[in-house]
Amino acid sequence: MLLVRVRLPSCVGLVLVALCVATAFAADDLLNQAQDAFAAGNHAQAIELVSRAITANAQDQRAFVLRGRMHAAMKQPQAAVDDFTKAISLAPSARLFDLRGAEQFKLARINESIADFDAAIKLSPDLERQHWMRGISYYYAGEYDRGRKQFEVYQTFDDNDVENAVWRFLCMARGVGLDEARSSILKIKRDMRVPMMEVYDLFAGKLTVDDVLKAVEAGEPSADELYKRRFYAHLYLGLYYDATGKLAKAREHIALAADKYPIGHYMADVARVHKQLLAK
C-alpha cells in the first residue's frame, strides 16, 4: 500500500504551536485564578474555574490535583477521591496515593485507605517511618500487630509524640491486653502540647481522667488554645474509655471531640470516624 505523506505548510505548524501555547497559558491563568478565589473564600467560584480548565484539557493532571485538594479542604472526601483517582490514572505518584488514602479514611473506607498508603510507601519507601496515618488505619482495620509495628517505626522518626505512644498502646491493648500495653508503653521525653503529658500518664496508669481535665483548664490559655486542648483531651479520653471497655463514657467523650470541639486537622476526622464506628 502506498503511504501518502501530507506536509503541512510551515505556517500551519506555527499556528498549531501557537494554539498549544495559548491553551497552556489559558489553563495556567484559570488555575491561578482558582487558587486566588479559593484563598479568598470563594470556593464555588474556585471549583468552577478549575472545572473549566479540565474541560479545556482533560489530560492536565495539575487541575485534578488542585480540585481534589479543594474538595478535601471543603470536607467533600468523595469528590476529592474522584479527582485524585483521575490524577493517579494520568501519572501515579506517592503523593497522590497518600492524598487519596487520607480521603478514603475520612469516608471510613479503612481497607482502601491502607491500600493507598501501602501504594504510596511502595513508591517512596522513606514515607514509612513517618506514616502514623497508616498506623491508625491498621488499628481500625483490626490489624493490631501491624499497627503496633508502624507506631514503633514512627518512634524512630519522632520520639517525642504522646499520640504515637497512645496509638501503639491502643493496638497492644486490643492485641495482647491492657497490662502489657501499660508495662511497655513507649517512652516520651516531653510533648509540650497541653494536656498530652497528662494523657500519657493516664494511659500509663499514673494519673486519672480528672487530672487530664484539670490540666486542660490550667493557666490562662487563649480561647483558641483552650478549644484545641479540649478537643485532644476528649478524643483521648474517649479512646481510653473505649480501650478499657467503658463504652458509654467512650461515646460521650468522642462525641464532644467530634461534634463540639472539632479542629482543622486529620485527628478531627479520626474522632468523627471513631464516633461512626462506635455507633455500629
Q: What pLDDT score was predicted for residue 30?
A: 94
Q: What is the pLDDT of residues 63-84, one digit of tens each?
A: 999 999 999 999 999 999 999 9
What's the CA gap between 216 and 195, in Å, rounded? 6
**Residue pointed to by grid coordinates 517511618:** 129
One-letter-per-residue 3-state SS of the chain: CCCCCCCCCHHHHHHHHHHHHHHHHHHHHHHHHHHHHHHCCCHHHHHHHHHHHHHHCCCCHHHHHHHHHHHHHCCCHHHHHHHHHHHHHHCCCHHHHHHHHHHHHHCCCHHHHHHHHHHHHHHCHHHHHHCHHHHHHHHHCCCHHHHHHHHHHHHCCCCCCHHHHHHHHHHHHHHCCHHHHHHCCCCCCCCCCCCHHHHHHHHCCCCCHHHHHHHHHCCCCCHHHHHHHHHHHHHHHHHHHHHCCCHHHHHHHHHHHHHHCCCCCHHHHHHHHHHHHHHC
280 pLDDT tier (thresholds 50, 70, 90): confident
**From the centroid of its chain, how far is CA 81?**
12
- Please say if the pLDDT value at position 24 is more than 90: no
| CA-closest candidate to residue 198, choices 229, 219, 173 | 229
Q: What pLDDT score was predicted for residue 2?
A: 42
Q: What is the pLDDT of residues 128-157, one digit of tens each?
A: 999 999 999 999 999 999 999 999 999 999
Residue 231: Cβ within 10 Å count: 22
Cβ distance 27 to 34 under 8 Å?
no
Q: What pLDDT score was predicted for residue 4?
A: 41
275 pLDDT tier (thresholds 50, 70, 90): very high
159 pLDDT tier (thresholds 50, 70, 90): very high
Q: What pLDDT score was predicted for residue 20?
A: 41
Distances (CA, A) of 99 to 30, 36, 95, 217, 274: 23, 22, 6, 35, 20
Q: What pLDDT score was predicted for residue 21?
A: 42
- Please say if the pLDDT value at position 242 is more than 70: yes
Q: What is the pLDDT of residues 196-207, one digit of tens each?
A: 999 999 999 999
Is-above-0.85 flag for pTM? yes
What's the CA gap between 27 and 241, in Å, rounded? 52
**From the centroid of its chain, how far is CA 99?**
7
